[in-house]
Amino acid sequence: MTGSASAAGSPLTIGRLRLRNRFVAAPMERNYCQIDGTVTDRYVEYLVRRARGGAALVFTEASYVRADGRGRLRQMGVDDDARIPGIARLAIAVRAAGALLGVELNHGGRTAQAAVNGYQPVAPSPVPCGPAGGEMPRELAAEEVYDLVEAYGQAARRCREAGVDVISLHGAHGYLVHQFLSPAFNLRTDEFADPVRFLNLVVEAVRKQAGHDLAVGLRLSAHEGFDGGLTAERTFELISRARLDLLDFLDVSAGCYEAGQWIVQPGEWERGLLAPHAERYRTLGLPVGVAGRISTPATAEAIVAGGKADFVSLARTLHADPDFPRRALANEPYRPCIACNSCIDQLGTGEPIPCSVNPEAGLEYLGMPSAPAVKASLLVIGAGPAGLETARRLAEHGHRVQVLERGHQVGGQFALASRLRAFPEYHGILQWCAAELTRLGVPVRTGILVTEEELARYAPDAVVLATGGTGHRPEIPGIRLPHVIDIRDWLALGQDTPGSCVVWGADREGVAVADHLAAHGSHVLLIGPQPSLAPGVGRRAKMLTVSRLTGNASVRILLESTILAIEPDRLLIRTDGREKWLPASGPLLVSHGVTPRTDLLAACQARRPPLGVYAVGDAGGSGGSIHRCFLSAEEAARSIAEALSS
């Protein structure tokens, strides 16, 4: 796909503005602002990097128009004139990088919570939002609704004065505008019982303040995604009644807090799944964008070329690779998003959100290290994700790198995880890493068991130990029986699905394997000391998996329980403070974390490579986390560069 031949690479007019292509950096919350909502250097450089990567229009996150509408500790604000200088700096920087700047105006309504912003939430009706914390909102009086309309208008004025190019009204995802539209959350009997009354007043106020040089659009959820909420049919009827004459575009998403899987879709779902909904909105006569699992150039091109939408809205895809638009149009390899949803699940911490596969995400303001003038020879032992990424980073700086892997294929334990039902996109990052090493001319030798004797054949300037980890087994009676096996070792064997099995450990890996086996017909007994399933995994990342396991009659779950002894056909367990024997058949898969495999560490250190020895990934204590694997690779590469320059 080349820029001249692709539909995604063609310009698009919205209002009086011209987009250089059809790739839009969608609103995505990041926790990069100050506590008061002011833009920071981190925020500016993050968006500038997406503009340099080729996006035609770069949006800020959903930005609150009034203080009581703030939903995150570090969410961007447009609620006060004091925010104007920061937004102006952002607009100037993004335009200098070749893109237009858009701001999405929002108020959290019932999803905002006093613990975050200090105000009791307000809403069309007193319906609490459980997923956001469950605080009871206060019903807005009619005059207060008009005050909020004015707040949207004043936010639009601030955007205009700051030099913003595009304003999008957030009418999706269960926030205030959406709440007025929804029969589940708008129970009013006054003039605002009309679902589109508030929306239209907001559109009118924003257009009045924005003028006609700015493009103004509406982001909407094609449906809410739960019983009793807005259906696709009803949503289309309502939007057809909106003041479309005052809008320049529509942007189609889906879901609300009660159906969060539709807001940020899991990797198991079809790419571009919302495109059919977007196509329908094109009949309303406005340019239409669409979001939802648009993570490959082929998906984006098919949507635009097929007439499903006029532009594609990308969030996680550009979080993983800011150069995705440029690379897509040039038919170049790109770093893929693996749809792990770690980014969205970390929003609630208030800390800046990272990316599992892109350690630079959010750190653009620090600058990237330049390639050292002196080049070194480096040996990487292990070709899991940490080893592959370390090798890639070092080779990018011109170092001579070799990779040795004891297995017959690359990927390590992450390759095993990519076979599971819950992680269908995981293989993509491994393929990209391997392809990058081929492009960079890095030899990767598989089937090489590195011993002290093998190590003596090399004289590298630095050694990177990426040998992974081994599964931990609690020492209890029966743990050495032949049917007891670490969960990773069992996956590596590639055996057929057993008729029944026991998974001991309700952590991330145990839950994912239990879900996979149950989906393929196995009767599963899942036992774990944890108080909940996969407590170390964010809510959205495990939403589908947990609901499937708890709703499957072939799965029995015993939490806050442990195994005390194992026999060939039964287990002694402690649960609810009592001990009892349970019948158990089939393999017993142990998932109790990994212990770093560092048997080569002393031998590597004994070789005294001048630039040092570095343990990365699980060998360095990453604990199976892909984010920590990539972060450790970045840290090792940076440390080697610093050692070279010292």
CA 275 from chain center: how many Å? 20
In the numeric block, the tokens 């059809």 are attached to 22
According to DSSP, residue 310 is labeled S
Q: Which of 32, 175, 257, 426 is catalytic?
A: 175
In the numeric block, the tokens 């992450």 are attached to 414
Quick one: tokens of 18? 């011209």
CA angle 231, 121, 342 (to 5 degrees): 65
Whether 372 and 397 have beta carbons less than 8 Å apart is answered as yes
- CB within 8 A of 563, min separation 6: which ones? 474, 476, 504, 527, 571, 572, 573
For residues 281 and 309, what is the distance between their CA atoms, to the nearest angstrom?
9
Pick from 63, 53, 61: which is nearest to 23 by CA?
Answer: 53
Q: Output the DSSP codes for 353-386.
A: P--SS-TTTT-GGG-PPPPPSS--EEEEE--SHH
List, in sequence order, every beta strand (DSSP E) within 26-156: 57-64, 100-106, 122-123, 138-139
Quick one: tokens of 332? 């170049």
Q: Is 71 exposed, middle or buried (0-12, 13-18, 19+ CB in 10 A)?
A: buried
In the numeric block, the tokens 């006569």 are attached to 285
- CB within 8 A of 8, min separation 6: which ones? 1, 21, 22, 23, 297, 300, 301, 304, 305, 312, 328, 329
- CB within 8 A of 137, min separation 6: which ones? 109, 110, 120, 121, 122, 123, 126, 127, 128, 129
Whether 593 and 448 have beta carbons less than 8 Å apart is answered as no
For residues 624 and 617, what is the distance between their CA atoms, to the nearest angstrom?
8
Quick one: tokens of 271? 């790419």
For residues 224 and 255, what is the distance between their CA atoms, to the nearest angstrom?
4
- CB within 8 A of 239, min separation 6: which ones? 218, 220, 250, 281, 284
Q: SS3 of 130, please?
A: helix
For residues 387 and 44, what is the distance between their CA atoms, to the nearest angstrom?
32
Task: Give the neighbor-by-neighbor strand order of the sheet with 500-504.
Answer: 484-486, 588-590, 500-504, 523-528, 555-559
Q: Which amino acid is at 460?
A: P
- CB within 8 A of 231, min separation 6: which ones? 223, 224
Pick from 299, 257, 260: which is nearest to 278 by CA?
Answer: 299
**Three-class SS of 508-553:** HHHHHHHHHHHHCCCEEEEEECCCCCCCCCCCCCCHHHHHHHHCCC
- CB within 8 A of 646, min separation 6: which ones? none
Known catalytic residue at 175: yes
Q: Which residues are catalytic?
A: 175
